[in-house]
């Protein structure tokens, strides 16, 4: 079932969205070579809880951390660890969810650590651009399939590929609600978006093959060819004439 949010619902989602954004901004200011991915998780947990909010991911279907930290060929859902050290030249994707006053915020950023190769830097840039291409013409009445069409078109025109095994989603009181929001597809297809619908749009773009593999921990998702991947996500609400980005 797809839930359309009221104005009061959206105002509460703005609060959780701001906290999600602020958490990622804080992480972006702290990330550096030599720190462990567990340190990033601690930064997120301490900030979120200090604001009176709850890390949405912690304990979600058994997930053991407050954020997902995914390095280079890890697409998403990298589990923070004291044993994983961030190195110069890596790209690090951080996915964060915040539950505040009963409402969810969800966003992701990919950070360049130190002197990053031109290929990686372009991948991160294009992945962010894919999100903004996707929302450029979105409004009340737009077909859902337009999102994936614009993401896929922009990614592939730059020589990259779009992950198919994982998609964006509706969001509200629950982290994952209907509808699913693929990053690929045909323009003009799918349900019509309605004013008040909240969705998390999250391009996951690979430098090489679009196929992925899942590790034995049940969470970590990596590119099948070990080439890098980037992730960029925001929670948005559909409006009469466009979208409101709640996590930016």
For 164-198, write each residue's pLDDT tens digit. Answer: 999 999 999 999 999 999 999 999 999 999 999 99
CATH number among 3.20.20.80, 3.40.640.10, 3.20.20.70, 3.90.230.10, domain 7-245: 3.90.230.10
pTM flag (> 0.75): yes
Q: Are 137 and 184 spatial neighbours (Cβ–Cβ below 8 Å)?
A: no
Looking at every residue in the chain, the average pLDDT score rounds to 97
Token pair, residue 172, equals 């509200």
pLDDT at site 231: 98
pLDDT at site 1: 87
Region 116-128 average pLDDT = 98
d(CA 248, CA 234): 7
Region 147-167 average pLDDT = 98
Q: Is 100 helix (H, G, I), strand (E, B) or coil?
A: strand
Q: Which residues pair with 4 in a beta bridge?
A: 197
Domain ranges of the chain: 7-245
Burial of 135 (0-12, 13-18, 19+ CB in 10 A): buried
């Amino acid at each position: 079932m797809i839930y359309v949010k009221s104005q009061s619902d959206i105002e509460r989602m703005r609060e959780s969205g701001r906290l999600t954004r602020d958490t990622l901004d804080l992480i972006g200011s702290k990330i550096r070579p030599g720190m462990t991915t567990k340190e990033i998780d601690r930064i997120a947990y301490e900030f979120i809880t200090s604001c009176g909010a709850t890390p949405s991911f912690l304990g979600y279907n058994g997930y053991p951390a407050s954020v997902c930290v995914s390095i280079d060929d890890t697409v998403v859902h990298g589990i923070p660890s004291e044993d994983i050290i961030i190195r110069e030249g890596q790209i690090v994707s951080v996915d964060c969810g915040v539950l505040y006053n009963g409402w969810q915020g969800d966003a992701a950023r990919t950070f360049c650590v130190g002197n990053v190769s031109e290929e990686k830097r372009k991948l991160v840039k294009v992945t962010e651009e894919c999100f903004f291409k996707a929302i450029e013409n979105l409004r009340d009445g737009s077909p859902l399939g337009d999102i994936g069409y614009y993401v896929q078109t922009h990614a592939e025109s730059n020589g990259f590929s779009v992950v198919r095994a994982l998609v964006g989603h509706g969001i509200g009181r629950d982290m994952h609600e209907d509808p699913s929001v693929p990053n690929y597809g045909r323009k003009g297809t799918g349900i019509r978006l309605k004013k008040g619908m909240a969705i998390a749009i999250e391009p996951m773009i690979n430098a090489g093959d679009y196929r992925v593999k899942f590790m034995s921990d049940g969470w970590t998702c990596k590119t099948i060819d070990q080439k890098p991947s980037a992730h960029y996500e925001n929670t948005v609400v559909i409006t009469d004439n466009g979208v409101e980005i709640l996590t930016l």
